[in-house]
Amino acid sequence: MPKLKKLTGRFAASIKVHKIRNKDIVLVLDFGSQYTQLIARRVRESKVYSQIVPFNISSKEIEDIKPKGIILSGGPLSVYDKGAPLPHKEIFKLGIPILGICYGMQLINHVFGGKVKGSKEREFGRAELFIDNNRDLFAKLPSNITCWMSHSDEIKTLPSGFVKLAHTLNASIAAFGNRVKKIYGVQFHPEVVHSQRGTQVLTNFLFQICGCLPRWTMEKFIDATTSQIKERVGKKKVILGLSGGVDSSVAAVLIHKAIGKNLYCIFVDNGLLRKNEVTSVQKTFKGHFNMNLTCVDAEKNFLSRLQNVTEPEEKRKIIGDEFIKVFKERADKLKNVSFLAQGTLYPDVIESFSPTGAPSEVIKSHHNVGGLPKNLKFELIEPFRELFKDEVREIGKHLGVPDAILKRQPFPGPGLAIRIIGEVTKERLEILREADERVLDEVKKAGLYYEVWQSFAVLLPIKTVGVMGDQRTYENVIAIRCVSSVDGMTADWVQLPYELLGKISNRIINEVRGVNRVVYDVSSKPPATIEWE
């Protein structure tokens, strides 16, 4: 459910808003699986709204939400491990259909008195699933399909009332169900693309078992969210940190639709932007959308704070702090400003901290999440906090945001500061800015700009020896990063044509003063992240 947020310390707590009654909700209880977000996405792709919540959510909270179904995610632990995450047992007495996936299945078996033991042969990767009963959960499926396994424990004995629905060569019970209680479990991961017909398994659960209707659409999200924002904000003013990227741009248009001239967009020229960024943003939002837009030249303050700073987390927090200072100054001049709006996305939240309390690791703080100061004086409006990039683009399309913005490749909030490894200086920014422009220019000329997720340059903290014009050089190294992705949660490096790589390298070395070597990053996410810092 889209929510307004109010900051309390590092974490954002929900401001109470009216529940959206025009859609069904399925809750995904997060037990720390790397695929939890993928489960939520698959449900939404079936036009049913899903919300990820902590594994230890109370039965009372669940009853208040009134979900049509509950999915228990996988997780890295065994149900017998010390400290293994366990839900409140009362959730199994609510009469709400439940589907357990991997750890979630083993958890159900354990709670109801079945036995779980370590497998003699662990299953990781593809496996052949033999369906023993093709009713409800496996309806409209063939007798055997390929599925994706990732487990070292298995079900040995079933609890009373449960029946086996499928097996593999290594797992005698790979799926089970209790049709009276409408509680089911699968040992495999139907949410990953490697599981053949996995989406069918999930839609069977959603539509046949839970009785959901496919009515979660972006149009309804827009209507519900604008109504909530309008009601909450009233006649007060909202400032929005506009970067010109997809997320903040669509957020600006959505909030402008809700409150009109009470939205004040602030574009901060922090000296960390791409070439010609300021002119482009002014043209789009003052001209096309006729919004209140103020451009603030804060380059001197940002670069002064970043002087001698090399640690990525410190960079992000400094940048977040400086942004807030600018917003506070502008808010004091405007008066009656109570809200700060941001285009925060769900992947930003996930990487900054575990949003659900599940046993997962902080990867890096995003300047608009973990980088915000503890004593923030504004209430936060983050309409996309639980959405993915492709969902935001779809919203933007419905709102009439130009393709030039919607199809724009993501650009990090901290800007070029996190694409400069090491200290950020004006000289190094200029080198990276020029190199980055040539990367983008050649990718566009090759017709690949809209085909890839991101393509950009990174300035490394080393210099190498070269020969230019029969003279020895000792200059900087630029890394090129180009990845494909759907939502930024995972990404693969793109196999750019050698000819294109050659053109980019030649242009950077010949046209950007201070660079004598170019390398290409061939790392995927995971284990790497898309940005270097």
Q: Of 248, 128, 256, 111, whose CA–CA distance to 187 is shortest? A: 128
Query: Is 167 tagged catalytic?
Result: no
Residue 483 φ/ψ, nearest 5 degrees: -130, 155
C-alpha distances (whole Å) from 382 to each of 35, 325, 388, 401 are 24, 19, 13, 18
Going by DSSP bridges, is the β-strand pair 4-8/379-381 parallel, antiparallel, or unpaired? antiparallel
- The number of beta carbons lying within 10 Å of the beta carbon of residue 498 is 8
Place of tokens 């401001």: 15
- Active-site entry in 123, 191, 437, 531: 191
Of 259, 246, 298, 264, the C-alpha closest to 411 is: 246
Give 175's strand partners: 166, 186
Taking the C-alpha atoms of residue 327 and residue 304, their distance in angstroms, rounded to an integer, is 18
**Largest Cα span, the chain:** 82
For helices 426-445 and 498-511, the axis angle rounded to 10 degrees is 150
Catalytic residue, candidates 110, 167, 189, 366: 189
269 and 296 Cβ atoms separated by less than 8 Å: yes
Specify the amino acid at residue 378.
F
The pair of three-digit structure tokens given for residue 340, joined into one six-digit string: 């700060």
Contact 504, 445 (CB under 8 A): no
Active site residue 90: no
Contact criterion met (CB below 8 Å) for 409 and 454: yes
User: Do residues 250 and 395 make contact, with C-beta atoms less than 8 angstroms apart?
Assistant: yes
Q: How many CB atoms lie within 10 A of CB 376?
A: 17
In sequence order, the 6+-apart residues with CB closer than 8 A to the CB of 283 are: none
Structure tokens belonging to residue 433:
């800015």
Residue 417 is encoded by which pair of tokens? 């500061």
367 is catalytic: no
Active centre residues (catalytic): 102, 189, 191
